[in-house]
Chain A
Amino acid sequence: MSDEDKPDDRPVPPGKPKPPPLSRAKRQELRRKFLRTVLLTGGIVGAGLSGFLPLVYARKPRLRPPGALDEKDFLASCIKCGQCVQVCPVDAIKLADLIDGVGVGAPYIDARSQACDFSCDAVQCILACPTGSLTYDKPAFMPVRPGAQLAAKPILIPKEKDPEPTLNLSERMGVARLTRPEMCLAIKGKGFKGPARGHSFRGKMRYMRIDRWKPVPIAEVRYEVEECDLCVRECPIKGAISIETVYAPDGTQRKSPVVHEPCVGCGVCEMICPTEPVSIEIVPREVWRA
Chain B
Amino acid sequence: MNTFLRKRFLEQILVMFGREPRKPEAVSEEARQIHLVKRTTNKEKLQAAAAHAEAHMNTSHKWRNRRWITLALVNLFFVFSYYFDVQILEGALTASRFIGFHLIDLNSALQVMLAHKHIITNLLIGTATVLVLWILFGGRSFCSWVCPYHLLAEWAEKIHLRLMREKLVTDAPVDRRLRTVFWIVFALLAVATGYTVYEAISPTGIVSRALIYGPGLALLWVLALLVFEVFFVRRAWCRYACPIGLTYGVVGIFTPLRIKYTLESCFHEGNCRKVCLVPHVLDTVIKGRAVHTEVPIGPDCTRCGLCVDVCPTGSLTFDVKGLSKLL
Contact = CB atoms under 8 A, between A and B. Distances in A.
- Asked if A pairs with B, the answer is yes
B209 A80 contact: yes
Contacts of A86: 82, 87, 90-91
Interface stretch (A7-15, A97-105, A222-230, A266-274): A97-105
Interface stretch (B52-60, B117-125, B318-326): B117-125
A32 B206 CA distance: 32
A202 interface: no
B91 A132 contact: no
Contacts of A48: 186, 189, 197-198, 200-201
B209 A83 contact: no
Contacts of B209: 80, 82, 95, 105
Contacts of A103: 200
Contact of A79 (B108, B181, B217, B221): B108
B49 interface: no
B298 interface: no
Interface residues of A, number: 45
Given A99-B217, A105-B209, A132 B197 contact: no
B200 A85 contact: no
B116 A44 contact: no
Interface in B189-236: 189, 193-201, 205-206, 209, 212-213, 216-218, 220-221, 233, 236
Q: Chain B CB within 10 Å — which of A52, A85, A131 has the most?
A: A131
A43 to B, nearest CB: 8
A interface secondary structure, majority: helix
Interface in A84-141: 85-87, 95, 97-99, 101-105, 128, 130-132, 135, 139, 141
Interface string A248-288: 00000000000000000000000000000000000000000
A77 interface: yes
Contacts of B248: none
Given A44-B241, A77-B116, A79-B112, A130 B201 contact: no
A247 interface: no
Contact of B217 (A41, A98, A102): A98
Contact of A73 (B116, B185, B199): B116
B108 A104 contact: no
Q: Chain B CB within 10 Å — which of A32, A97, A141 has the most?
A: A97
Given A34-B175, A76-B116, A98 B95 contact: no
B181 to A, nearest CB: 7
Contacts of B199: 79-80, 102, 104-105
Interface stretch (B96-104, B254-262, B279-287): B96-104
Contacts of B77: none
Interface of A: 32-34, 36-37, 40-41, 44-45, 47-49, 51-52, 72-73, 75-83, 85-87, 95, 97-99, 101-105, 128, 130-132, 135, 139, 141-142
Given A97-B217, A98-B218, A132-B120, 11 more contacts: A41-B178, A77-B116, A79-B104, A81-B94, A82-B212, A98-B220, A102-B196, A105-B200, A105-B206, A105-B209, A130-B102
